[in-house]
Amino acid sequence: MLRELLLDAPGKKVLLLGNEAFARGALEANVQVAAAYPGTPSSEIMEALAAVAEEAGIYAEWSINEKVAFEVAYAAAVAGLRSLCSMKHVGVNVASDALMVANYAGVEGGMVIISADDPAGHSSQNEQDNRMFAKFAEIPCLEPATPQEAKDSVVIACELSEKCKLPVMVRSLTRLSHVRGDVELGPLPKEKKRPNLRRDITYTGFPAPDHHKLLHDRLMNIEEDLERVPFNKVEAKGGEKVGIVACGVGYNYAKEAIKLLKLREDDVAILKLGVPYPLPKKLVSSFLRSYDRIYVVEDGFPFMEEQLKILCYDLQIRPTILGKLTGHLPMEGEIDPEKVVVGLARVLGIDYKVPEIKVRGDIELPRRTLSMCAGCAHLATFYAIKQAVRREMKGDPRKTSIVCGDIGCYGLGLFHPYNMFNTHICMGASIGCANGFAQTGINQPVIAYLGESTFFHAGMPPLLNAVYNGANVKVVVQDNITTAMTGHQPNPAVGYTAMGKPAPIVLVEDVAKAFKVPFVRVVDAYKVDELIETIREAIRTPGPAMIVARRLCAELARRQARRKGIQIVPPTIDKMKCNGCKYCITQLLCPALIWREEERKADIDPLLCVGCRVCNQICPQKAITGGNGVADL
């Protein structure tokens, strides 16, 4: 796919992931500086750009967090270049501090913020709709519907941004960012711009009321342009009484619903809206005037629906507006063809039943919850934390630890069967919350748990806070030398940049020492006893403590072992010694450890096992021995 990104062949059709299409759009738009922090479903935008950046003559970076990414892109745009920053929806929360003044201050070159929202929270902790952020910041928002429009949206957003001198948001969704489709390539620019910066009070955001007025004037300036954005289009104006207003990806479901109801293409009118904020008022008003009933199809909050209702009030017209607020689509979760067709059938008064899914015969389908990877060092650390607390508490069942989780693969520790965490809210909040728990005077060990990328992103300020305020927190950093959850992006601990250039390695423990954390230890995460003893020692030592449990991500380790010619040989389970206690399976929960019901013994799946030898160390019967693989790296 990366070859296609640089293909200078206008008119050629290629298969691109939505996120790759955004990246191609950035190249076609002549974006010269791009920055991001990884986060599903946004990561592949910067991954793709970084992979071709050098050849394309642009700059791309993985910033340490979204606020920094925003600021990097913002500064480039102030210097007159076109720039882009991309992030997942919750990333915009982090960047918002800068965004809420950058809108007042304005830009010279076109600046695009891609917000990849995740309705249904496939890989997120909430469902926030960042069109609200565009409205909050009073900046234009585009919402493409297809990979083709994803590509085109970056070009259009840059042009709009340069015209109104405001950053422009492009809202993506999981069902666009992670959808592959055919995309027709446009031309690539031939010439780069040179940065040009003058010192101007405009870029400072002061004085606020003047600049707020300026912001409003700038938005007014592009009113007509927003009407003409090609993602807005009216289809089938026929004489029917029902019109659909479909925003972004919702348009695809609306079209599918019409097919599923076996309606003719022109039976129902559709206004496809690609600009959810500010509304292209002329286009929308004329559509609203033409229909008695309006069905609003959108993912996320009832954002369009509310705006349409307000617009109708101003226009003094009273069509019936149906959507999320009227129960014609659910208020939570992601929309899909079934939800949209059921809503449309109700609007049209058609009888439609969603096919019923039934298993015939006496068969029960067991659930398959997500699990950590086989050989993941986080598993060893989960185990070690539990053991350390148990042993320190000497079996007193009333006494347990408080464990504050964080955002990363280890977020799975939240769920059954791990049940690791008391709190789990946002990046860096493990240490932040631990600070608070420790200061309540609670008589339990307070443990914060996070990865190294999360530590650099938002864990450093709360760690320093703990030192400065003397919070008795025990921080376990699961350092797997990559940002694993989002696809192995490098971070300051890794030693190279997004564009593959060598970079200085910044170790988590060095930061902790510089912050004057009194207790700092580094342990090999696969050495279980040492890890348990170190955590116990940390619990017994008053004051802030940090334990860095380090091991390369098991997925990367498997690849590295293969490259180095290390054969992965799973450990052997001595079937005479295994008494079927299941300790290894229930306590470690490594997916490579399987249960043979017929012989009532544990076994190891040779295709999943990576040879970490952690199970060897924990088997109470000492029945698991030998094996090699990633432990030998």
Q: Which residues contact other proteins (rule: CB under 8 A)?
A: 13-15, 40-41, 43, 122-123, 174-175, 178-182, 249, 251-253, 255-256, 259-260, 336-338, 341, 354-355, 357-361, 363-373, 409, 411-412, 417, 484-487, 582, 585-586, 589, 591, 593-595, 605, 607-608
CB atoms near residue 243 (< 10 Å): 23
Strand partners, 502: 496
- Other CB atoms within 10 A of residue 481 CB: 21
Burial class (CB in 10 A: 0-12, 13-18, 19+), 582: middle
CB atoms within 10 A of CB 573: 23
Q: How far is the CB of 418 from other proteins (least distance, A)?
A: 10
Of the pair 110, 627, the CB lying nearest other proteins is at 627
Please, are residues 619 and 543 in contact by the beta-carbon 8 Å criterion? no
CA 608 to CA 592: how far, in whole Å? 5
From CA 212, how far away is CA 105, in angstroms rounded? Answer: 9
Q: Which is nearer to other proteins, 47 or 162 (CB)?
A: 47
Return the closest-CA partner of residue 486 out of 545, 434, 555, 542. Answer: 555
- The dihedrals phi and psi of 101, each to the nearest 5 degrees, come to -120, -30
Task: Kindly state the tokens that stand for 242.
Answer: 């029902």
Rg of the chain in Å (alpha carbons): 27
Cα distance between residue 609 and residue 607, in whole Å: 6
Closest CB to other proteins among 363 and 576? 363
In whole angstroms, the minimum distance from the beta carbon of 575 to other proteins comes to 17
Are 234 and 290 a contacting pair, CB within 8 Å? no
Backbone phi and psi for residue 312, each to the nearest 5 degrees, phi listed first: -60, -40
Smallest distance, Å, CB 485 to other proteins? Answer: 4
- Minimum distance between the CB of residue 17 and other proteins, rounded to whole angstroms? 8
Nearer to other proteins, 97 or 605 (CB): 605
Taking the least distance from each CB to other proteins, the nearer of 86 and 174 is 174
Instruction: Using alpha carbons, list the distances in angstroms from residue 176 to 1, 116, 149, 242, 476.
Output: 17, 9, 10, 27, 36
CB of 162 to other proteins, least distance (A): 32
Smallest separation (angstroms) from other proteins to the CB of 414: 13
For other proteins, the closer of residues 366 and 395 by Cβ is: 366
Sign of CA dihedral 46, 564, 378, 503: negative
| Residue number with CB closer to other proteins (292 or 599) | 599
DSSP state at residue 202: G
Q: Which is nearer to other proteins, 19 or 161 (CB)?
A: 19
Give the nearest distance from C-beta 15 to other proteins in angstroms: 4
| Residue 410 CB partners (closer than 8 Å, separation 6+) | 372, 378, 381, 382, 420, 449, 450, 451, 478
CB-CB neighbours of 586 under 10 Å: 11
Which among 8, 324, 37, 349 is positioned nearest to 185, based on CA atoms?
Answer: 8
Residue 369 vs 440, nearer CB to other proteins: 369
**Other Cβ atoms closer than 10 A to 628:** 16
- Cα–Cα distance between 558 and 347 in angstroms, integer? 54
Measured from the CB atom, is 174 or 401 closer to other proteins? 174
User: Based on CB atoms, which residue is closest to other proteins, 486 or 616?
Assistant: 486
Nearest Cα to 250, choosing from 225, 231, 278? 231
Q: Could you tell me the smallest distance in angstroms from the CB atom of residue 252 to other proteins?
A: 4
CA distance 582 to 603: 10
Helix (H) or strand (E) holding 223: helix 223-227
Which of 228, 93, 253 is closest to 159 using CA atoms? 228
Minimum distance of other proteins from residue 619's CB (angstroms): 15
Judged by beta carbon, residue 359 or residue 576, the one nearer other proteins is 359
CB of 467 to other proteins, least distance (A): 31
Nearer to other proteins (CB atom), residue 374 or residue 473: 374
Q: Which residue has the tokens 């979760």?
A: 333
Taking the complex as a whole, the smallest distance from the CB of residue 339 to other proteins amounts, in Å, to 10
Task: Supply the minimum distance, in Å, between the C-beta of residue 456 and other proteins.
Answer: 18
Smallest distance from the beta carbon of 334 to other proteins, in angstroms?
A: 9
Q: Is residue 427 within 8 Å of 485, Cβ to Cβ? A: no
65 or 252: CB nearest other proteins: 252
In the complex, the smallest distance separating the C-beta of residue 557 from other proteins, rounded to whole angstroms, is 15
